[in-house]
């Protein structure tokens, strides 16, 4: 089943718990946390304290996207009872296989993200071990950016590799996704949709979440 992971980066942080609950009531299956360190990406967002504050306030699991350097030093901080995925960037990991093993040893599914300029071939040696491949459809660091159409080719290539080799990873796309391009993102083979501004920058977050899910079920 296709899943929706609203990205809280675009939420109103003064009402974060309430807004996350609205996405849960709307049927979202995950909460997407964009962790940014101001080094790997030109922006600073928030740390593990936000997850710890939200764990227990919602029943939907956490999808943690680490846009940070030295992820190995911080991964354990992001493990809560709600944490289902922790995704690191291929571009930020010197020893990617070791980092993925570290995530799995903590009982969490391991994801690998690639930026728009990073080829799928760079993941060749980890596809068998990955639980999630995150295809960035914007250059990471900010919400509200425009979708990069060419990234759909990468998703389709990953979907083909998965079928040909019987890999078990899920494919997630992240950045610039809204009702107008959702069908193209899904038909390329995406399993999990991340959407931030197109969910949280709306009057009625619950209704918007329901709209997304209805479109995803078509
Ligand atoms: C960007 C983040 C995305 C972003 C998505 O670096 O990884 O998750 O918050 O936000 P929208 O949907 O507004 O592009
Ligand atoms: Zn993200």
Structural domain boundaries in the chain: 3-216
pLDDT tens per residue across span 5-26: 999 999 999 999 999 999 999 9
Find the angle CA(168)-CA(35)-CA(199) to the nearest 5 degrees: 80
Helix/strand number for the chain, H first, E second: 7, 8
Report residue 173: phi and psi, to 5°. Answer: -120, 145
As for ligand 1, residues whose beta carbon falls within 6 Å of it are 7, 9-10, 32, 34, 65, 67, 138, 140-141, 143-145, 174-177, 194-198
Asked if 173 and 135 count as a contact pair (C-beta separation under 8 A), the reply is yes
* Predicted confidence band of residue 38 (pLDDT cuts 50, 70, 90): very high
Expressed in angstroms and rounded, the spacing between residue 105 Cα and the centre of ligand 2 is 23
3-state SS, 25-59, equals HCCCCCEEEEEEECCCCCCECCCHHHHHHHECCEC
pLDDT tens per residue across span 172-211: 999 999 999 999 999 999 999 999 999 999 999 999 999 9
pLDDT tens per residue across span 68-123: 999 999 999 999 999 999 999 999 999 999 999 999 999 999 999 999 999 999 99
Asked if 188 and 152 count as a contact pair (C-beta separation under 8 A), the reply is yes
Q: What is the CATH number of domain 3-216?
A: 3.20.20.70
Output the pLDDT for position 56.
83
pLDDT(135) > 90: yes
Q: Which of 91, 151, 194, 208 to mutate to test the pocket of ligand 1 (most atoms within 8 A of CB)?
A: 194
pLDDT(2) > 90: yes
Stretch 154-181: mean pLDDT: 98
């Amino acid at each position: 089943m296709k899943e929706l992971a609203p990205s809280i980066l675009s939420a109103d942080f003064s009402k974060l718990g309430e807004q996350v609950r609205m996405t849960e009531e709307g049927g979202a299956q995950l909460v997407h946390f964009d962790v940014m360190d101001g080094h790997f990406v030109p922006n600073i967002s928030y740390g593990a304290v936000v997850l710890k504050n939200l764990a227990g306030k919602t029943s939907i699991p956490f999808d943690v996207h680490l846009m940070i350097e030295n992820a190995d030093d911080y991964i354990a901080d992001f493990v809560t009872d709600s944490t289902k995925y922790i995704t690191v960037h291929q571009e930020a990991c010197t020893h990617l296989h070791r980092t993925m093993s570290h995530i799995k040893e903590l009982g969490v599914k391991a994801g690998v993200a690639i930026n728009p300029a990073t080829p799928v071939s760079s993941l060749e040696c980890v596809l068998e071990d990955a639980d999630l491949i995150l295809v960035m459809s914007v250059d990471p660091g900010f919400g509200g950016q425009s979708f990069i159409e060419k990234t759909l080719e990468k998703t389709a290539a990953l979907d083909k590799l998965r079928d040909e080799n019987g890999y078990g990873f899920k494919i997630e796309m992240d950045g610039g996704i809204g009702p107008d391009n959702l069908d193209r993102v899904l038909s390329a083979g995406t399993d999990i949709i991340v959407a931030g501004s197109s969910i949280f920058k709306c009057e009625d977050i619950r209704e918007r979440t329901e709209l997304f899910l209805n479109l995803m079920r078509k």
